[in-house]
Amino acid sequence: MAILKVARLGHPVLRTVAEPVPVEVIGSPETQRLIDDMVETMREYDGAGLAANQVHTRMQIAVIEVQANPRYPDAPPIPLTVVINPVVAPLGEEMEEGWEGCLSVPDMRGRVPRYTAVRLQCYDRDARRVDLIAKDFFARVIQHETDHLNGLVYLDRMRDLSTLSHIAEWHKHWLGLAEQSD
Ligand code: NI
């Protein structure tokens, strides 16, 4: 396995739309190695998720996992989830603002409105169909990662940029407020 280089904001690959992965390609050694490397890269940098465009590969693949993550100390655990060719639909109109960061936008945080519940249909790494309902933080991460696959970053979803904060200032000025309001 290998730790991959993560594209940062400004690299055009983050603004490209990823291509669907042919189902027969999911099981190939190359795709499986990419998934392994994405998982290792996500864990190395304490990401809650990682999309393939972020590691310079235009395939509709994202990985998601939260296990006692120092970058998201209050986030509930999410088991390792490999998402291929996702289709995401909101369940209802309800949206909620919450803090997000991104390995491609290092050391920043901002408040982002997201649907509180979504239906995710995709394939897993064994090319099995997945059809699940996700809520709250899991739903948030799914929306963040599938946005990446469509060339969007969380900044595009912010209603305004007034909460956009460097991580040091976020800890100093926002974290206590976040705990009260979230
Ligand atoms: Ni991101």
**pLDDT tens digit sequence for 3-39:** 999 999 999 999 999 999 999 999 999 999 999 999 9
Residue 7 lies in a domain: no
Ligand 1 centroid from CA 148, angstroms: 7
The pLDDT, as a whole number, for residue 73 is 73
Residue 55 lies in a domain: yes
Residue 145 lies in a domain: yes
For 34-88, the pLDDT digits (tens) are 999 999 999 999 999 999 999 999 999 999 999 877 777 777 899 999 999 999 9
Residue 30 lies in a domain: yes
Residue 3 lies in a domain: no
What residues make up the domain containing 79? Answer: 12-181
Ligand 1 centroid from CA 18, angstroms: 14
Residue 1 lies in a domain: no
Residue 2 lies in a domain: no
**pLDDT category, 181, cuts 50, 70, 90?**
very low
Residue 133 lies in a domain: yes
Ligand 1 centroid from CA 173, angstroms: 23
Query: Measured in whole angstroms, how far is the alpha carbon of residue 127 from the centre of its chain?
Result: 20
pLDDT at residue 180 above 80? no
Domain count for the chain, please give it.
1
Q: What is the pTM of this model?
A: 0.93
In whole angstroms, what is the distance from residue 171 CA to residue 155 CA?
19
Q: What is the CATH number of the domain that holds 35?
A: 3.90.45.10
The pLDDT, as a whole number, for residue 177 is 61
In whole angstroms, what is the distance from residue 8 CA to residue 54 CA?
8
> What positions carry a catalytic annotation?
145
The pLDDT, as a whole number, for residue 98 is 95
Ligand 1 centroid from CA 145, angstroms: 6
Distances from the Cα of 1 to the Cα of 7, 107, 173, angstroms = 19, 26, 39
The pLDDT, as a whole number, for residue 175 is 82
Question: CB under 8 Å, gap of 24 or more: what pairs does 165-168 form?
Answer: 165/108, 165/109, 165/110, 166/107, 166/108, 167/101, 167/107, 167/108, 167/109, 168/107
